[in-house]
C-alpha cells in the first residue's frame, strides 16, 4: 500500500473504534437492494418497500443484535448502535423503521419488561414476526412527557388494565409502525390503581389483529405525508377503554401485585419515570450516530463532486478552476468535514460508555452507578442535539455546494436532507435536550455548594470550576497536562497548540456555566420563571459549549492513542481545523470575556483559512477514510 493508502486506512481504523470488525463486516453485507430506497415513489410504495427490507434484515439476523443472548440475541448492546450508524449510509426510512421495531419497541420490551415479556415476545420481535410501535408522544405532549394524558387504570375485578385516551390531545401521534404495520404497541400511560396515580408506565397493547384490522376500542390514524422518511408509516392511536391483562404492564420498575397493590423499588413517580426513560437512552445514541453517518455521506458526495467540477477561468488561463480550490468552497465543506471527524469520535466514546453501563451485567449486589448514568444521559442528550444539527447544516451546505445537481434526487442529498430534518426533533427536541444538559450541570453545581450564600460562592467559583468539574469532564490526566501547560500563555501559543485549543474550549464552557449558575442562584419562589427564562439563551449556550468541550476531549483522547506518523499528522490538522472553527464561531464570546485579543481573534480566522488550504489536497482521502460502502453512494456526481 502507498503511504497515502496506509494513512487513509489508519484514519478509518481510528473512526471505526471499538466495533471495527462489525463495521467492516457491515460494509460488505449492506447490499443496495435492501439498504437503499427509491426517491419519488408514492408513499404507499415506499412503505411497502421498507417493510419488505425490514423483513429481509430480520431474515439475516440483524434484528437480533443487542438483545439478550439468553433469548437468541447476538453481539452486544453497543453493537446495535454501531449497526444503526452503518445502516444510516443507506435509506434513512429503513433505518428509522428498523430503529422503531428493534430499538424502541423491542428495546422497551427488553429493558422495561421482565422475563414473562421476554419469553413471550422477544423471539417474535427479533424475527419481525411481531411488528410493534413505541407509543409515547401525544398530540398535546411531545417534550413534557411526564404530563401524558393517556391512562391505564387497574380494574381489580378482572385484573386488567383499561387503556383510555380521555381527551383529543391525548391521541398518540407521529408513532412509527402505527399507520400500516404494527400489531402491538408499547403504550405510555399514567398508571392508576384505586385513586392513586403512579406516573407514566409502559404497557403492551395489541392494536391490530393478524389480518391487520384495528382491534376493538383502538382507533388508528395515518399521519400521511411528511417532509421526509416516506417509508415510515407514522400514525396515531386512540384508545377507548381497551382492556389488557395486568401482566402486559412492563414491570421492571413498578408492578401491580395479584392483590392489586402497586409496588416499586423507586420512590416518587417522577424519579421512577425518568429511571425508565434512562434505560432507553440508546435511542438517542442511535439518532446521533445515524445523523452523523448521513453528514459523512453528504460530505463524501460533495467533496467528490467539488474535486471534479470546474467553473470560471483563472486569470490569464483558459482552464476553469476546480471548485474545491476556491476558499469559499473549502470553507463550506472542510470545517464541517473536520467537525464530522470530531463528532464521530465523541459518538464512539458514548457508545462505549453505553456498553459499559447498559451492555454488561452488573455484578450481583452492586448498585447502579447513578452519577455515571446521569452523566451518560446528559452526554448522550447533548451529543444528539449537536450532531443532528450538524447533520442538517452539513447536508444543506453540501446540497448548495453541488448547485442544481445537489437538488436532483438522483444525487442522494435531497432525500437525506429531508429525512434527517426530524432527527432534530424526535427522541427529544434539541432545544429541550440542551436544557436537560444544562440542568444536569447546574444540579451538580447546586449540590456542590449547598447553602453557601452568593458572596461566598463568587469567591469559590473559580477554584471549584477549575478543580472540581474540570477534572471530572477531562477523562485523562494527559489532556489536563496539555491544558495546564498552555495556561497563562494564551497569547503566545501557536494556533495548533492542542493544549491552548483545549483550554479555550474549557474556559468557554466553565465560565459560561459559572456565570449562569450565579444568575440562577438569585431565583426565589416568585421570580423563578422570569429569571430562568431571561437567562435561557445563556443556559443553552452553557449546554452547547459543555458538549463542544466533551467532543473536543474525546477527539483529543483518540489522537493521543494514535501512533506517530503521517496519519496522526493529518488527523492533527483535522482536529485543529475543528477546534479553530469552533473558536472562530464563538470568537465574539472569547473577545467579550477577554480570552482572545482582537489581533489573536483575527489570527484564528487566518488559521482556519490556512488549514482549509492545507487540507484541500487531502479532502478526498479524508472522505475515503469514512469507508462508506461504494455501492451505497449511487449519486452520479460522486462517481470518480
Residues 501-540 that bind a copy of itself (CB under 8 A): 525, 528-529, 532-534, 536-537, 540
Contact 170, 139 (CB under 8 A): yes
Which is closer to a copy of itself, CB of 601 or CB of 634? 601
Q: Which of 42, 156, 245, 561 is close enough to bind a copy of itself by CB under 8 A?
A: 42
Residues 12-41, interacting with a copy of itself (CB under 8 A): 39-40
Nearest residue (CB) to a copy of itself, 136 versus 345: 136
Closest CA to 378 of 532, 265, 274: 274
Question: Which region among 263-271, 356-364, 396-404, 559-567 touches a copy of itself (by CB under 8 A)?
Answer: 396-404
* Distance in angstroms (rounded) separating the CA atoms of residues 477 and 501: 16
182 vs 166: CA distance, rounded Å: 23
Under 8 Å between Cβ of 255 and 262: yes
135 is written with which cell numbers?
Answer: 407509543
Residue placing its CB nearer to a copy of itself in the complex, 251 or 545: 545
Footprint on residues 589-608 left by a copy of itself (CB under 8 A): 591-594, 598, 601-602, 605
Which residue is it, cell 432534530? 424
Residue 173's SS3 state is strand
Tell me the closest approach of the beta carbon of residue 313 to a copy of itself, in angstroms.
8
Interface stretch with a copy of itself, choices 152-160, 350-358, 416-424, 478-486 (CB under 8 A): 416-424
Binding-site string for a copy of itself from residue 144 to residue 183, where x marks contact by CB under 8 A and - marks none = x--x-------------------------xx---------
Could you count the other beta carbons within 10 Å of the beta carbon of residue 462?
Answer: 12
Q: Which residues pair with 164 in a beta bridge?
A: 151
Pick the closer one to a copy of itself by CB: 164 or 430.
430
136 vs 461, beta carbon nearer a copy of itself:
136
- How far, in Å, CA of 283 to CA of 103, rounded? 7
364: three-class secondary structure by DSSP? coil
Q: Which helix (H) or strand (E) holds 593?
A: none
If the CB atoms of residues 210 and 225 are measured against a copy of itself, the closer one turns out to be 225
In angstroms, give the least distance from the CB of 202 to a copy of itself. Answer: 20
- 443 interacts with a copy of itself by CB under 8 A: no
Dihedral sign, CA of 622, 624, 629, 633?
A: positive
Q: Residue from 143, 153, 197, 573 that binds a copy of itself (CB under 8 A)?
A: 143
* Neighbouring C-beta atoms of residue 146, cutoff 10 Å: 14
Which of the ranges 115-123, 154-162, 428-436, 621-629 carries the binding residues for a copy of itself, by CB under 8 A? Answer: 428-436
SS (H, E, C) 475-487: CCHHHHHHHHHHC
Give Rg (Cα) of the chain: 25
| Of residues 243 and 331, the one with the C-beta less far from a copy of itself | 331
The distance of closest approach from Cβ of residue 71 to a copy of itself in the complex, given in angstroms and rounded to an integer, is 32
> Using CB under 8 A, which of 116, 407, 439, 462 touches a copy of itself?
407
User: If binding is defined by CB under 8 A, does position 344 make contact with a copy of itself?
Assistant: no
Extended strands (E) in 268-369: 310-313, 320-322
Give the nearer residue to a copy of itself in terms of CB position, either 373 or 605. Answer: 605
Amino acid at each position: 500500500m502507498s503511504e497515502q493508502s496506509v494513512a487513509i486506512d489508519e484514519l478509518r481504523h481510528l473512526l471505526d473504534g471499538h466495533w471495527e470488525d462489525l463495521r467492516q463486516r457491515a460494509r460488505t453485507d449492506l447490499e443496495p437492494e435492501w439498504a437503499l430506497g427509491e426517491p419519488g415513489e408514492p408513499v404507499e410504495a415506499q412503505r411497502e418497500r421498507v417493510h419488505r427490507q425490514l423483513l429481509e434484515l430480520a431474515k439475516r439476523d440483524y434484528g437480533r443484535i443487542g438483545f439478550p443472548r439468553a433469548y437468541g440475541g447476538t453481539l452486544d448492546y453497543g453493537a446495535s448502535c454501531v449497526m444503526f450508524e452503518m445502516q444510516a449510509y443507506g435509506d434513512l426510512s429503513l433505518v428509522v423503521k428498523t430503529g422503531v421495531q428493534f430499538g424502541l419497541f423491542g428495546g422497551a420490551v427488553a429493558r422495561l419488561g421482565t422475563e414473562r415479556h421476554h419469553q413471550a415476545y422477544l423471539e417474535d420481535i427479533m424475527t419481525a414476526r411481531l411488528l410493534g410501535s413505541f407509543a409515547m408522544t401525544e398530540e398535546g405532549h411531545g417534550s413534557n412527557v411526564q404530563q401524558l394524558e393517556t391512562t391505564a387504570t387497574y380494574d381489580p375485578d378482572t385484573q386488567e388494565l383499561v387503556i383510555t385516551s380521555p381527551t383529543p390531545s391525548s391521541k398518540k401521534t407521529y408513532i412509527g409502525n402505527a399507520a400500516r404495520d404494527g400489531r402491538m404497541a408499547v403504550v405510555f400511560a399514567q398508571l392508576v390503581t384505586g385513586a392513586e396515580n403512579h406516573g407514566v408506565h409502559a404497557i403492551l397493547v395489541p392494536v391490530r389483529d393478524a389480518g391487520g384490522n384495528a382491534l376493538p376500542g383502538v382507533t388508528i390514524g395515518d399521519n400521511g405525508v411528511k417532509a421526509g422518511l416516506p417509508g415510515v408509516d407514522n400514525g396515531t392511536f386512540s384508545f377507548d377503554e381497551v382492556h389488557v391483562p395486568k401482566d402486559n404492564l412492563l414491570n421492571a420498575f413498578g408492578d401491580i401485585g395479584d392483590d392489586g397493590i402497586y409496588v416499586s423499588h423507586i420512590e416518587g413517580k417522577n424519579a421512577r419515570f425518568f429511571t425508565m426513560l434512562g434505560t432507553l437512552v440508546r435511542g438517542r445514541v442511535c439518532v446521533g450516530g445515524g445523523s452523523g453517518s448521513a453528514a459523512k455521506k453528504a460530505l463524501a458526495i460533495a467533496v467528490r463532486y467539488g474535486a471534479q467540477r470546474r467553473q470560471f477561468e483563472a486569470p490569464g488561463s483558459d482552464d476553469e478552476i476546480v471548485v474545491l480550490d476556491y476558499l469559499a468552497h473549502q470553507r463550506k465543506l472542510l470545517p464541517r468535514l473536520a467537525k464530522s471527524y470530531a463528532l464521530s469520535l465523541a459518538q464512539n466514546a458514548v457508545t462505549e460508555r453505553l456498553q459499559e453501563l447498559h451492555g454488561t451485567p452488573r455484578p450481583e449486589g452492586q448498585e447502579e452507578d447513578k452519577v455515571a448514568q446521569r452523566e451518560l444521559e446528559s452526554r448522550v442528550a447533548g451529543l444528539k442535539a449537536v450532531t443532528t444539527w450538524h447533520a442538517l447544516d452539513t447536508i444543506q451546505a453540501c446540497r448548495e455546494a453541488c448547485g442544481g445537481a445537489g437538488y436532483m434526487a438522483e444525487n442522494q442529498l435531497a432525500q437525506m436532507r429531508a429525512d434527517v430534518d426530524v432527527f432534530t426533533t424526535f427522541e427529544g427536541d434539541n432545544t429541550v435536550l440542551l436544557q436537560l444538559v444544562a440542568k444536569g450541570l447546574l444540579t451538580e453545581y447546586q449540590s456542590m455548594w449547598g447553602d453557601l450564600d452568593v458572596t461566598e460562592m463568587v469567591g469559590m467559583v473559580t477554584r471549584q470550576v477549575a478543580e472540581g468539574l474540570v477534572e471530572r469532564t477531562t477523562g485523562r490526566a494527559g489532556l489536563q497536562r496539555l491544558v495546564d501547560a498552555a495556561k497563562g500563555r494564551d497569547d503566545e501559543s501557536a494556533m495548533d497548540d492542542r493544549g491552548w485549543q483545549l483550554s479555550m474550549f474549557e474556559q468557554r464552557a466553565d465560565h459560561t456555566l459559572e456565570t449562569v449558575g450565579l444568575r440562577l442562584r438569585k431565583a426565589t419562589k416568585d421570580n423563578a420563571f422570569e429569571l430562568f427564562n431571561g437567562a435561557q439563551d445563556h443556559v443553552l449556550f452553557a449546554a452547547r459549549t459543555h458538549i463542544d468541550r466533551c467532543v473536543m476531549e474525546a477527539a483529543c483522547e483518540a489522537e493521543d492513542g494514535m501512533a506517530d506518523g503521517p496519519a496522526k499528522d493529518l488527523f492533527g490538522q483535522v482536529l485543529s481545523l475543528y477546534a479553530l472553527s469552533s473558536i472562530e464561531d464563538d470568537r465574539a464570546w472569547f473577545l467579550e470575556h477577554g480570552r482572545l485579543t482582537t489581533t489573536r481573534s483575527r489570527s484564528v480566522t487566518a488559521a482556519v483559512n490556512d488549514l482549509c488550504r492545507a487540507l484541500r489536497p487531502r479532502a478526498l482521502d479524508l472522505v475515503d477514510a469514512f469507508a462508506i460502502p461504494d455501492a451505497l453512494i449511487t449519486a452520479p456526481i460522486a462517481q470518480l
